Amino acid sequence: MPDTNERAPAAERKPAAAAAHKPRRRSALHRQPSHRLVLSNRTIVTHGLERRVWLDLYHYFMTVSWPKLFLTFAGFFFSFNIVFALLYYLVPGCIANRNPEGFWGDFFFSVETLATVGYGDMHPQVLYGHIVAGIELFVGMMSIALMTGAMFARFSRPQARFLFANAAVVRPIEGKTTLMLRAANARQNIIMEASAQLRLVRDAVTLEGFKIRRIEDLTLIRSQHPIFLLGWNVMHVIDETSPLNGENSESLARANATLLLTLSGTDETTGQILMARHEYGHPDIHWNHSFRDTLRVGDDGLSHFDYTHFHVTDPL
């Protein structure tokens, strides 16, 4: 019988010390691309999805800030002309009357070609120069058309100037405990057939112990407004059928609850659909409070809407 204590060949043996000093690889989670999302009262970091701006340029142009948008277009304009200036620079003498001499003369000729200025001094004088200038004009016109379209879409995008109160209140109205939220039309034009939806989002655990993020609809006393001009008090009665029945500030805090209010309507001036939303975390719900009145009748007999009291709540 072979000796069971026979040692393995040296080539098959792995020193324990070498294994102990083997560098550890980073976990797959840390190697994946991540993105930070800020949602109401929590921050979520997503992993595993690559954000490729080049594959979603339209969304990038519509969501990026105006300074970043102008910087992006300026960077493209400069890089575009640098590339074609290098192409002109590869063949000396392809541009007649180049001024200034050298690379920067080719750069400014590229700028004039892209803008179709045509001052009349510098021009291609060989076949190579004409070919490069033709390619630049073709690519440049398409690029300018795309940038113009992005600017127009960004400028003409409908934006709702809906104003939401910083807090929601819970107070009795007609003997019923009622959740009230306040919204206003800051543009002060008519929003036709405005509608509101209110939802409660909170953490929950099923009977099987499965943790979920539950979304529940809150029925509104009035979910439609025919002419949303100034203000709108959105109200939900907390009764036996309400998901908020029996809840208080402590229980909502434990469930990490959030109220999501969504408003939409048609702008009478432009005919465009306007949409806006606002989130209220559990600290933003003021129990046994009321909103301060914003509408009053002055000594002149006219109605006055005071926006300085719009966000103010008073304890009952």
Contact 122, 93 (CB under 8 A): no
Q: Is residue 241 part of a domain?
A: yes
Digit-coded pLDDT (tens) for 201-212: 999 888 888 899
| Residue 38: pLDDT band with limits 50, 70, 90 | low
Digit-coded pLDDT (tens) for 89-122: 999 889 998 888 889 999 999 999 998 887 778 8
Contact 249, 130 (CB under 8 A): no
What is the tally of structural domains in the chain? 2
State which of 110, 140, 156 marks the end of a domain.
Answer: 156
Q: 95 and 239 share a domain? A: no
Distance, in Å, from the CA atom of 232 to the CA atom of 238, rounded to the nearest integer, reads 19
Q: Is the pLDDT of residue 169 over 60?
A: yes
pLDDT score recorded for residue 43: 73
Q: 206 and 166 share a domain? A: yes
Q: 251 and 291 share a domain? A: yes
pLDDT score recorded for residue 37: 65
Distance, in Å, from the CA atom of 160 to the CA atom of 20, rounded to the nearest integer, reads 62
Digit-coded pLDDT (tens) for 268-310: 888 889 999 999 999 999 999 999 888 888 778 788 888 888 8
Q: Is residue 20 part of a domain?
A: no
Report percent pLDDT > 90 for the chain.
Answer: 49
| Residue 17: pLDDT band with limits 50, 70, 90 | very low
pLDDT score recorded for residue 42: 64
pLDDT score recorded for residue 270: 84
Q: Is residue 183 part of a domain?
A: yes
**CATH classification at residue 145:** 1.10.287.70
| Residue 71: pLDDT band with limits 50, 70, 90 | very high
State which of 156, 188, 212 marks the end of a domain.
Answer: 156
Q: Give every CB contact of residue 224 below 8 A, 6+ residues apart in sequence.
A: 193, 194, 195, 196
State which of 135, 156, 177 marks the end of a domain.
Answer: 156
Q: Is residue 274 part of a domain?
A: yes
Q: Give every CB contact of residue 209 below 8 A, 6+ residues apart in sequence.
A: none
Distance, in Å, from the CA atom of 136 to the CA atom of 124, rounded to the nearest integer, reads 13
Q: 291 and 175 share a domain? A: yes
Burial pattern 109-144, b for ≥16 Cβ within 10 A else e, equals: bbbbbbeeeeeeebbbeeeebeebbeebeeebeeee
| pTM to 2 decimal places | 0.69
